[in-house]
Amino acid sequence: NAFELLHFAEARQEAQPSCVSVGMYATYFVKQGAIYVCGSTEEDGDGWGSSPFFGTGALTNAPLLTPTPMVGLASVQIVEVAAAREHVLLREVGGLVYSCGEGHNGALGHGDMISRASPRQITSLERAVQISAARYLSLVVTDGGRLLSCGKDHPNYFFTAAQAQQQPDRGLLGRDIQS
């Protein structure tokens, strides 16, 4: 399990994960700027099946029993991960945010409801300083002091600048949180 993996790394004097986040079906680790995932796709007992979108680049029903690198991010230095029920947000050192997972509630922030098996950059965001994810919701705090949201019950989800110009009344749902 994940705790045994952390203890094993400690016993071997390896670098420890700098950030860990647990979703319903997967655990994500940031270690020396790289992002790893492990988890299970078993049904959770209440009739809900798990998400096959782990960020490995392919749909899978096989459990990932050991931390596996997420695809497409080899040259990206991840500093923060925020996992939710069926999606995950990743923030890199420069403030760019990536997402992958189930997109049916718009929680991935790409202006659509498409599910993605590998991380994709959310291009419409300002530089992010903090991320958070909940069941079907994503939150981003920008360096400009704005709190932005997308996902279920947040129809003004993130979208591209071109889409914002075409639909000015649908701007980002943002609040100034600076005091």
Q: Which pair of tokens denotes residue 43? A: 């049904």
Number of structural domains (the chain) is 1
Q: Is the separation of the CB atoms in 175 and 147 below 8 Å?
A: yes
Q: Give dist(CA 149, CA 109) in Å, integer.
A: 8
Is the pTM here over 0.85, yes or no?
A: no
Q: Which residues form the domain of 29?
A: 2-176
Query: Domain with 59 in it: what CATH number?
Result: 2.130.10.30
Q: Which amino acid is at 28?
A: Y
- Pick from 107, 69, 68: nearest CA to 86: 107
Give the model's confidence band at 179: pLDDT under 50 very low, under 70 low, under 90 confident, else very high.
very low
The per-residue pLDDT for range 33-83, each reduced to its tens digit, is 999 988 876 555 544 444 556 677 766 667 778 888 888 898 999 999 999
